[in-house]
Every structure is written in C-alpha cells, then in structure tokens.
Amino acid sequence: MHQPSIFITGAAAGIGKATALRFLAGGWRVGAFDIDAQGLESLANAAAAMGCGELLITGQLDVTNNDSWQATMAEFTEHTGGSLTVLFNNAGILVSGPLAEQSLEAQQRLIQINVQGVLAGCYLARPYLAKGSRVINMSSASAIYGQPSLAAYSTSKFAVRGLTEALSLEWENAGIQVMDVMPLFVQTNLVTNMNASSIRRLGVRLTPADIALTVWRMAHYRGNRVHWAVGLQTKLMVFASKLTPAWLLRLSNKWIAG
C-alpha cells in the first residue's frame, strides 16, 4: 500500500510541530519545513525519540520565495514517489494592535506570508496533487467577521478562506479536496503579548494538539465539508454568523473587541 505523505509549512513550532508529530505517529511520511532551523532540529530530535525519525524530512522554506517552494517540493517528493497526499499550508504570522499604530511594513509582511505564501503553496503543489490528494489551509475564526486590532490578520484569513472556497470548486473534478481549519486563539507564540481586547474577553482555550487532531481528521475525511471550525467557541460563532442579522453580528463583534 502506498505510504501517505504530508508537506507542512511553519513546522518548527506550535501547530506545525504538533501536526508533524501526529502524522509521524500515524506512520505518514512527513515533510516539515520552516525558516527556523533550530526549531526543525528540535522536531527531528522529538521524532527520533518517538522511533519514527526515518519518516521525517526537514528543510528550510521561506514561503514568500517561489524558488524556495519549488526546491523543497522537489526535494520532499523525491521521497514520496513524486506525489503528495496532503499539503498543510500552516505558516503564518500575526500583528496585533490598532492598524494606524502598527508598522505598515510589518502588516504588509503579514500579507506576504499569510496570503501570498498560501497562494504559492497551492499553485506550486498542484503538479504533485492527484485524485485523492487534499490541501488544508490554516484560516481562523477571524475570517468570520473582521476583528479590530487584528485588521491585517483578519484580512489575510478572509483571503485564505476565499482561496479555499474557490479551489474547493475548481479542483473538485480532479478529485482534489481543498479545506481550511478555523480555530479561535491557540496556545502558541503568536498570541504571546497579543494586543487585542478579543483575546482578553474570550481567552485562549485551544492547544496545538487540538488543531493537529483536527488536521488528522481532515486528512482522512471522505465528505465535502470545506470549513472546519475548532472548539466550542468557534463553532458557536460560526453558527451565530449564519443566523444573526448583520447589525447584531457587528454589535456582538464590537463587544468582543472591547
């Protein structure tokens, strides 16, 4: 039986690392890529301690650089027979605080990584994707309604959501599923010292392991679900957004933002 494979961006820490370890434990060939060489070394040590280090391929990847994408894709698929079962576009950064008080360059860099990086991943992975393959993009509950003090981040996740929906239709006839995962705040370095009232009101209740388990389920899913909300809070927010009038939805998000 052909061994399944997953290519993960932003794999050196947090959600990416937890997902890599989850799939390694499941016997998958895992490509873990990041700009953080030290973090990747830590991941490799953890994989070795689990007894599955031979299943792990690591390498440095700058998701804003197309040549970097092409090189790492080619390198990883040399170990998979030239194909890819799952692409997990996980790499992302966060800038928080009022829009006008944050560096424009930092917010533009966020868009480069969170949006252009995901777009490049989908585009450049396409030759390696076949019937039964799937793409999982990291979106967010911030793509339900734009969040104050997270304007650039919300923008990036709305873009990811739109790309996911478009490709889920465009690639359907090829048998390639495209989905996104939409958590609220997760206990990673991204939310450390985060400057937004929403995190103080809602708290941080999800762990990287929670997201990794969801990605594992998505990788084995056989239905047509596109958006995967993670955690009770996010599921309630998605449900409310479908039923709530626009004015009330705006008011509730205004309250969340403090």
What is the percent of the chain with per-residue pLDDT over 70, rounded to a whole number?
Answer: 81
Give tens-digit pLDDT for 92-143: 999 989 999 999 999 999 999 999 999 999 999 999 999 999 999 999 988 8
* C-alpha distance from residue 83 to each of 7, 52, 244 (Å): 11, 21, 43
Q: What is the pLDDT of residue 206?
A: 77
What is the percent of the chain with per-residue pLDDT over 90, rounded to a whole number?
Answer: 72
Position 249 pLDDT exceeds 60 = no
Beta strands in the chain (DSSP E): 5-9, 29-34, 56-60, 84-89, 129-138, 177-183, 227-230
Residues 6+ apart with CB under 8 A from 89: 9, 117, 118, 121, 122, 135, 136, 137, 138, 160
Instruction: Classify burial at 207, counting beta carbons within 10 Å of its beta carbon; exposed 0-12, middle 13-18, buried 19 or more.
Output: middle
How crowded is the C-beta side of 140, counted as CA atoms within 13 Å? Answer: 27
Q: 191 near 185, Cβ under 8 Å?
A: yes
Tokens of residue 115, six digits: 């949006």
Q: What is the pLDDT of residue 83?
A: 95
Q: What is the pLDDT of residue 148?
A: 85
Question: How many residues can be counted in the chain?
Answer: 258
Q: What value does the mean pLDDT take over residues 195-212? A: 67
Overall fold of domain 5-256: Rossmann fold (3.40.50)
- With residue 15 as reference, give the H or E element that holds it: helix 14-25
Q: What is the pLDDT of residue 135?
A: 98
Give tens-digit pLDDT for 39-86: 999 999 999 999 999 999 999 999 999 999 999 999 999 999 999 999
Average pLDDT of every residue of the chain: 88
Q: What is the separation of C-alpha 25 from the centre of its chain, rounded to a whole number of angstroms?
A: 20
Position 226 pLDDT exceeds 90 = yes
Q: What value does the mean pLDDT take over residues 229-242? A: 64
Q: Which residues partner with 181 through β-bridges?
A: 138, 228
pLDDT-based confidence at 188, cuts 50/70/90? Answer: low
pLDDT-based confidence at 221, cuts 50/70/90? Answer: very high
Position 194 pLDDT exceeds 70 = no
Domain ranges of the chain: 5-256
Q: What is the pLDDT of residue 1?
A: 47
